[in-house]
Amino acid sequence: MESVPIRLQCGAPQALQSAIEQAKQNGNPTEILLQEGIYRLKEPIKIHDCKTPLSIHPAEGATAVLTAAQPVTAPFQKWEQDGIYYAEIGAGQEIQAVFVNGEPYTMCRYPNEQPWEILGGYAKDALSKERVARWQNPAGGYVRALHEHEWGGNSFRILGKNPDGSLRLDWVGDNNRGDGISNTFVMVENIFEELDAPGEWFYDRADGRLYLIFRL
Protein backbone atom coordinates (compact mmCIF):
# COMPACT_ATOMS: atom_id res chain seq x y z
CA MET A 1 0.00 0.00 0.00
CA GLU A 2 1.36 3.40 -0.95
CA SER A 3 2.11 5.70 1.94
CA VAL A 4 0.11 8.85 2.57
CA PRO A 5 2.35 11.96 2.64
CA ILE A 6 1.81 14.68 5.25
CA ARG A 7 3.88 17.81 4.75
CA LEU A 8 4.77 19.98 7.74
CA GLN A 9 6.05 23.54 7.56
CA CYS A 10 8.82 24.76 9.86
CA GLY A 11 7.54 26.87 12.73
CA ALA A 12 4.66 24.54 13.52
CA PRO A 13 6.24 21.82 15.72
CA GLN A 14 2.92 21.17 17.47
CA ALA A 15 1.57 19.98 14.12
CA LEU A 16 4.00 17.05 14.21
CA GLN A 17 2.18 15.39 17.08
CA SER A 18 -1.14 16.07 15.36
CA ALA A 19 0.17 14.42 12.19
CA ILE A 20 1.27 11.37 14.19
CA GLU A 21 -2.18 11.11 15.76
CA GLN A 22 -3.69 11.37 12.29
CA ALA A 23 -1.45 8.52 11.11
CA LYS A 24 -2.61 6.34 14.01
CA GLN A 25 -6.23 6.86 13.06
CA ASN A 26 -6.20 6.58 9.28
CA GLY A 27 -4.78 3.06 9.30
CA ASN A 28 -2.55 3.69 6.27
CA PRO A 29 1.23 3.82 6.03
CA THR A 30 2.15 7.46 6.59
CA GLU A 31 5.15 9.52 5.56
CA ILE A 32 5.61 12.79 7.46
CA LEU A 33 7.80 15.17 5.45
CA LEU A 34 9.54 17.97 7.32
CA GLN A 35 10.25 21.08 5.34
CA GLU A 36 13.50 23.06 5.71
CA GLY A 37 14.13 24.56 9.15
CA ILE A 38 14.36 24.05 12.89
CA TYR A 39 11.41 22.52 14.74
CA ARG A 40 11.57 23.52 18.40
CA LEU A 41 9.63 21.02 20.51
CA LYS A 42 8.32 21.93 23.96
CA GLU A 43 7.34 18.37 24.88
CA PRO A 44 8.35 14.85 23.79
CA ILE A 45 6.93 13.37 20.59
CA LYS A 46 4.67 10.41 21.37
CA ILE A 47 4.68 7.63 18.77
CA HIS A 48 3.50 4.68 20.91
CA ASP A 49 0.52 2.55 19.83
CA CYS A 50 1.02 3.36 16.15
CA LYS A 51 0.04 0.11 14.41
CA THR A 52 0.78 1.19 10.82
CA PRO A 53 4.14 1.99 9.18
CA LEU A 54 5.21 5.55 9.96
CA SER A 55 8.27 7.46 8.77
CA ILE A 56 9.35 10.98 9.73
CA HIS A 57 12.12 12.54 7.66
CA PRO A 58 13.10 15.73 5.82
CA ALA A 59 11.48 16.46 2.50
CA GLU A 60 13.69 15.93 -0.53
CA GLY A 61 16.57 18.40 -0.50
CA ALA A 62 15.61 19.82 2.90
CA THR A 63 17.53 19.90 6.18
CA ALA A 64 15.21 19.63 9.17
CA VAL A 65 16.25 19.72 12.83
CA LEU A 66 14.11 18.54 15.74
CA THR A 67 15.29 20.04 19.01
CA ALA A 68 14.03 20.83 22.49
CA ALA A 69 16.36 23.84 22.69
CA GLN A 70 14.58 27.16 22.98
CA PRO A 71 16.15 30.50 22.02
CA VAL A 72 16.54 33.24 24.61
CA THR A 73 14.80 36.24 23.07
CA ALA A 74 14.77 38.49 26.14
CA PRO A 75 17.64 41.00 26.27
CA PHE A 76 20.48 40.43 28.72
CA GLN A 77 21.01 43.15 31.29
CA LYS A 78 23.91 43.91 33.59
CA TRP A 79 23.41 42.70 37.13
CA GLU A 80 24.73 44.64 40.12
CA GLN A 81 27.87 42.47 40.28
CA ASP A 82 30.48 43.11 37.61
CA GLY A 83 30.63 40.53 34.87
CA ILE A 84 27.21 38.98 35.50
CA TYR A 85 24.30 39.44 33.11
CA TYR A 86 20.74 38.17 33.32
CA ALA A 87 17.69 37.70 31.12
CA GLU A 88 14.05 37.28 32.14
CA ILE A 89 13.10 33.94 30.56
CA GLY A 90 10.18 32.85 32.76
CA ALA A 91 9.86 30.84 35.94
CA GLY A 92 9.51 27.10 36.37
CA GLN A 93 11.48 25.92 33.36
CA GLU A 94 13.63 22.78 33.26
CA ILE A 95 17.02 23.78 31.86
CA GLN A 96 19.69 21.15 31.36
CA ALA A 97 22.15 23.02 29.19
CA VAL A 98 22.91 26.52 27.92
CA PHE A 99 24.65 27.37 24.66
CA VAL A 100 25.93 30.81 23.68
CA ASN A 101 26.67 31.21 19.97
CA GLY A 102 26.73 27.43 19.73
CA GLU A 103 29.27 27.07 22.54
CA PRO A 104 28.26 25.06 25.65
CA TYR A 105 28.37 26.89 28.97
CA THR A 106 28.75 25.21 32.39
CA MET A 107 26.19 25.23 35.19
CA CYS A 108 27.86 27.31 37.92
CA ARG A 109 29.69 25.11 40.39
CA TYR A 110 32.24 24.81 43.17
CA PRO A 111 34.98 24.10 42.58
CA ASN A 112 35.15 25.59 39.10
CA GLU A 113 35.31 23.08 36.29
CA GLN A 114 38.44 20.98 35.93
CA PRO A 115 37.52 18.53 33.14
CA TRP A 116 40.48 16.23 33.82
CA GLU A 117 39.45 15.59 37.46
CA ILE A 118 36.87 13.28 39.07
CA LEU A 119 33.41 14.95 38.98
CA GLY A 120 34.96 17.60 36.76
CA GLY A 121 36.64 18.93 39.89
CA TYR A 122 36.08 18.27 43.61
CA ALA A 123 36.81 19.99 46.92
CA LYS A 124 36.80 18.78 50.51
CA ASP A 125 35.24 22.05 51.68
CA ALA A 126 32.36 22.01 49.19
CA LEU A 127 29.89 21.33 52.02
CA SER A 128 31.75 23.02 54.85
CA LYS A 129 29.78 25.17 57.31
CA GLU A 130 31.76 28.21 56.23
CA ARG A 131 30.93 27.71 52.56
CA VAL A 132 27.27 26.85 53.09
CA ALA A 133 26.90 29.98 55.24
CA ARG A 134 27.72 32.08 52.14
CA TRP A 135 24.67 30.75 50.27
CA GLN A 136 21.59 32.85 50.87
CA ASN A 137 19.15 30.44 49.24
CA PRO A 138 20.72 27.24 47.86
CA ALA A 139 17.36 25.56 47.12
CA GLY A 140 17.47 24.28 43.55
CA GLY A 141 21.15 23.47 43.70
CA TYR A 142 22.75 20.03 43.54
CA VAL A 143 25.36 18.06 45.44
CA ARG A 144 27.36 15.57 43.37
CA ALA A 145 29.73 13.15 45.05
CA LEU A 146 31.25 9.71 44.98
CA HIS A 147 29.71 7.15 47.30
CA GLU A 148 31.42 6.99 50.70
CA HIS A 149 33.21 3.80 49.54
CA GLU A 150 34.06 5.47 46.21
CA TRP A 151 32.64 2.74 43.94
CA GLY A 152 30.02 4.94 42.32
CA GLY A 153 28.26 8.28 42.45
CA ASN A 154 25.55 9.92 44.54
CA SER A 155 23.51 12.99 43.69
CA PHE A 156 21.24 15.14 45.84
CA ARG A 157 18.83 17.98 45.23
CA ILE A 158 19.23 20.84 47.68
CA LEU A 159 15.84 21.71 49.17
CA GLY A 160 17.08 24.52 51.42
CA LYS A 161 18.76 25.00 54.79
CA ASN A 162 17.90 23.48 58.15
CA PRO A 163 17.57 25.72 61.24
CA ASP A 164 21.15 24.83 62.22
CA GLY A 165 22.45 26.07 58.85
CA SER A 166 23.10 22.63 57.37
CA LEU A 167 21.70 21.67 53.98
CA ARG A 168 18.39 19.90 53.57
CA LEU A 169 18.99 17.29 50.88
CA ASP A 170 16.88 14.96 48.77
CA TRP A 171 18.78 11.91 47.49
CA VAL A 172 17.89 11.21 43.86
CA GLY A 173 18.47 7.46 44.26
CA ASP A 174 21.13 7.10 41.60
CA ASN A 175 22.49 3.82 43.00
CA ASN A 176 21.00 0.87 44.91
CA ARG A 177 23.20 0.75 47.99
CA GLY A 178 22.53 3.80 50.09
CA ASP A 179 23.14 7.50 50.06
CA GLY A 180 26.44 7.99 51.91
CA ILE A 181 28.95 10.33 50.27
CA SER A 182 32.71 10.68 50.17
CA ASN A 183 34.33 13.27 52.42
CA THR A 184 36.78 14.11 49.63
CA PHE A 185 35.15 13.69 46.23
CA VAL A 186 32.27 16.16 46.33
CA MET A 187 31.12 19.26 44.45
CA VAL A 188 28.05 21.52 44.30
CA GLU A 189 26.36 23.23 41.37
CA ASN A 190 23.55 25.66 40.46
CA ILE A 191 24.08 27.87 43.49
CA PHE A 192 24.05 31.57 42.70
CA GLU A 193 26.99 32.53 44.91
CA GLU A 194 29.17 30.08 42.96
CA LEU A 195 28.58 31.93 39.67
CA ASP A 196 32.07 33.38 39.41
CA ALA A 197 33.78 32.21 36.19
CA PRO A 198 33.42 33.08 32.50
CA GLY A 199 31.31 30.48 30.73
CA GLU A 200 29.16 29.65 33.78
CA TRP A 201 25.37 30.03 34.11
CA PHE A 202 22.72 29.89 36.83
CA TYR A 203 18.95 29.65 36.46
CA ASP A 204 16.61 30.77 39.24
CA ARG A 205 13.40 28.76 38.73
CA ALA A 206 11.50 30.94 41.21
CA ASP A 207 12.08 34.34 39.62
CA GLY A 208 12.67 33.11 36.07
CA ARG A 209 16.05 34.71 35.55
CA LEU A 210 18.93 33.17 33.63
CA TYR A 211 22.25 34.56 34.88
CA LEU A 212 25.58 34.03 33.17
CA ILE A 213 29.09 35.33 32.73
CA PHE A 214 29.98 35.68 29.06
CA ARG A 215 33.25 34.36 27.72
CA LEU A 216 35.25 37.10 26.04
Full-model pTM: 0.81
pLDDT tens by residue, 38-53: 888 888 888 777 777 8
Whole-number mean pLDDT of the chain?
88
Q: Is the pLDDT of residue 81 over 70?
A: yes
Cα three-residue angle 130-135-137, rounded to 5 degrees: 145
Residue 109 β-bridge partners: 189
Residue 13's pLDDT band (boundaries 50, 70, 90)?
low
- Please report the pLDDT score of residue 174 as a whole number: 81
d(CA 1, CA 141): 54
